[in-house]
């Protein structure tokens, strides 16, 4: 189980039949339907129970705008002038150069015929630094049209450059022409982006990529990264946007409508390669000094290969985002609505700021979420509201009374 920012595990989730499992989280807040005692009651700056259509909400397929991060760079170059680097120079990164959360980046060798080779071998020089156990660089070759891993995945730190020399990966059992690529994948938290993992020039560098005949010595492909390089950076194909307002049989928290990132055909199979973001309208927080975000969430995202969702907030209209949770798990059955809406997300730590916005994103890997017993319903979002506690009066209230006022 992944490290957590706040080591809070709550024994039961309100209205659920089972306890969720979370791989990584910053705030885990459950509800038994009752608001805790408060010394004040808030002003409600925004409330939406999703019963009036999209109402200013927007949703996007983040894969459609993804930009390749593998590129030729002099930064930490191996020899000569350039090396391939999966990373970026970013003033927000504490070390200057590193990588971000949620990357899926590829660098492909052009199809290379190895028919005449008695022992075709792939070699390269490389360095890496990425979060151990969660962020990996895979070396892959195509076998019967499917990419398979040649290594277990580079993670942690290589402590500088390494060179495979003449002893690399044998390609004889894979497709001919050989299709080889490097692939870096990072999860939803702990990277240079959020400052929780400070890499040394991460995520991955490579140079002198070569395919040759070990016995005959003939070189079929060589990219020494000079003269513009010969490999090709890429990102996954766009995966589609699955967010929509639904009134499906698995009921909303406040019937009948809610947002759902899932299959309207209810196949319990969420496709692979998703990075689907749902964004709230912008809420004016001018003058507020003590604010909370609260929302109702149902999720079923079991994972064996890093499917998860994230929630984020922005106080400058979407220019800068702060991740408030990165999660996986099962919030039980159709009635299994859990909430961040009791203790909520404290926005005060991000103030001052006048233009609040919320973003909820579902991420799935190649295989998607499911199918069958390992299937998942995706994530569903219902009642969401923003409270301003600045100078509010004393009162104790229940969730039901508060919700009735809001509606």
Give average pLDDT by consecutive 10-residue segment, the chain, 407 residues. Answer: 31 30 35 44 88 93 92 95 96 87 95 94 98 96 95 96 94 95 92 93 97 95 94 92 82 79 68 90 90 86 77 92 83 49 74 92 79 64 88 45 40
pLDDT score at 364: 86
Q: Which residues contact 403 (CB under 8 A, 6 or more apart)?
A: 254, 383
Q: Are 295 and 339 in contact (CB under 8 A)?
A: yes
- pTM (2 d.p.): 0.74
* Domains of the chain in sequence order: 43-63+239-406 (2.60.120.200), 67-234 (2.60.120)
At 37 the pLDDT is 44
Tokens of 91: 């003033």
Classify residue 406 by its DSSP letter. H
- Enter the tokens of residue 220: 């079929």
Q: What is the DSSP string of 193-232?
A: TTTSS--SS-SEEEEEEEEEETTT--EEEEE-S-TT-SSE
87 and 204 Cβ atoms separated by less than 8 Å = yes
Task: Report residue 49 as tokens.
Answer: 């129970």
Question: What pLDDT, on the 0 to 100 scale, is given for residue 50?
Answer: 92
pLDDT of residue 74: 97
């Amino acid at each position: 189980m992944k490290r957590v920012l706040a080591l809070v595990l709550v024994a039961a989730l309100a209205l659920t039949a089972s306890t969720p499992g979370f791989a990584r989280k910053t705030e885990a807040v459950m509800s038994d339907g009752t608001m805790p005692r408060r010394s004040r009651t808030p002003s409600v700056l925004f409330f939406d129970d999703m019963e009036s259509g999209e109402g200013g909400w927007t949703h996007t397929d983040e894969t459609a705008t993804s930009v390749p991060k593998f590129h030729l760079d002099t930064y930490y170059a191996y020899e000569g002038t350039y090396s391939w680097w999966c990373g970026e120079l970013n003033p927000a990164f504490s070390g200057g150069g590193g990588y971000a959360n949620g990357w899926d980046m590829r660098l492909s060798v052009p199809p290379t015929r190895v028919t005449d080779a008695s022992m075709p071998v792939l070699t390269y020089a490389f360095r890496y630094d990425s979060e151990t156990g969660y962020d990996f660089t895979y070396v892959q070759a195509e076998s019967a049209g499917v990419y398979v891993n040649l290594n277990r995945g580079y993670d942690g730190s290589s402590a500088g450059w390494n060179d495979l020399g003449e002893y690399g990966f044998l390609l004889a059992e894979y497709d001919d022409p050989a299709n080889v690529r490097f692939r870096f994948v990072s999860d939803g938290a702990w990277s240079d982006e959020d400052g929780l993992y400070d890499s040394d020039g991460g995520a991955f560098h490579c140079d002198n990529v070569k395919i040759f005949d070990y016995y005959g010595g003939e070189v079929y492909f060589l990219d020494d990264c000079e003269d513009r390089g010969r490999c090709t950076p890429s990102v996954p194909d766009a995966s589609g946007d699955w967010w929509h307002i639904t009134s499906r049989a698995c009921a909303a928290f406040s019937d009948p409508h809610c947002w759902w990132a899932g299959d309207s055909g209810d196949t319990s199979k969420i496709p692979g390669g998703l990075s689907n973001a749902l964004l709230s309208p912008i809420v004016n927080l001018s003058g507020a000094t003590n604010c909370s975000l609260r929302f109702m969430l149902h999720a079923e995202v079991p994972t064996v290969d890093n499917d998860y969702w994230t929630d984020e907030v922005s106080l400058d209209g979407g220019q800068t985002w702060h991740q408030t949770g990165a999660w996986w798990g099962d919030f039980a059955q159709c009635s299994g609505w859990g909430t961040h809406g009791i203790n909520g997300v404290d926005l005060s730590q991000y103030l001052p700021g006048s233009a609040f916005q919320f973003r909820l994103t579902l991420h799935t890997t190649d295989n998607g979420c499911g199918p069958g017993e390992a299937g998942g319903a995706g994530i569903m979002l219902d009642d969401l509201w923003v409270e301003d506690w600045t100078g509010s009066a004393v009162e104790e209230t229940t969730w039901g009374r508060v919700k009735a006022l809001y509606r």
